[in-house]
């Protein structure tokens, strides 16, 4: 696969993941992730290890928070592929409901990939929110 092909494949994987989140299709959300995935998220726990914990974070935290009119849009995605590892960075504009009020956040996103059996899989995902400057 050429560098161009890898970038196209990784971009398609990222876009499908985001579309699955918006559709609240948890099986599709996890479909590109490795069983031994490690995730650091904006909400607890501090570290989520494994595909089951990752699935739970979507079904028990994000989907209920986002509700029926939640927002999950990616922007500024940059992909850096290597032969067997790659990473992507970008921003997520997301919105949901807290204490009965609509809220919006822009989160930082970093995704780590490995090529396993010729296919890219997500092995690490990190979502973070900048602390406000006062």
Tens digits of per-residue pLDDT, 78-92? 999 999 999 999 999
Q: Evaluate whether residue 12 is within a structural domain.
A: yes
Residue 116 lies in a domain: yes
Domain that holds residue 60: 3-128
Please answer whether residues 124 and 111 qualify as being in contact, where contact means their C-beta atoms are separated by less than 8 angstroms: yes
Q: How many domains does the chain have?
A: 1
pLDDT tens per residue, range 100-133: 899 999 999 999 999 999 999 999 999 999 887 6
In a domain, 20, yes or no: yes
DSSP structural state of residue 45: S
Residue 134 maps to a domain: no
In a domain, 60, yes or no: yes
Domain for residue 99, yes or no? Answer: yes
CATH number at residue 121: 3.10.450.50
Query: How far, in Å, CA of 123 to CA of 110, rounded?
Result: 11
Q: Specify if 112 maps to a domain.
A: yes
pTM of the model: 0.93
Q: In this structure, is residue 27 part of a structural domain?
A: yes
Q: Phi and psi of 45, rounded to 5°?
A: -75, 170
């Amino acid at each position: 696969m050429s560098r161009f092909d890898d970038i196209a494949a990784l971009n398609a994987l990222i876009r499908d993941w985001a579309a699955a989140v918006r559709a609240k299709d948890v099986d599709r959300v996890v479909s590109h992730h490795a069983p031994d995935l490690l995730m650091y998220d904006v909400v607890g726990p501090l570290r989520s290890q494994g595909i089951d914990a990752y699935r739970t974070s979507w079904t028990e935290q994000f989907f209920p928070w986002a509700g029926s009119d939640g927002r999950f849009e990616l922007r500024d995605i940059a992909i850096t592929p290597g032969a067997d590892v790659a990473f992507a960075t970008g921003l997520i504009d997301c919105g949901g409901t807290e204490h009965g009020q609509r809220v919006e956040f822009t989160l930082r996103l970093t995704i780590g990939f490995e090529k396993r059996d010729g296919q890219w899989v997500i092995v690490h995902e990190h979502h973070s929110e900048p602390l406000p400057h006062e």
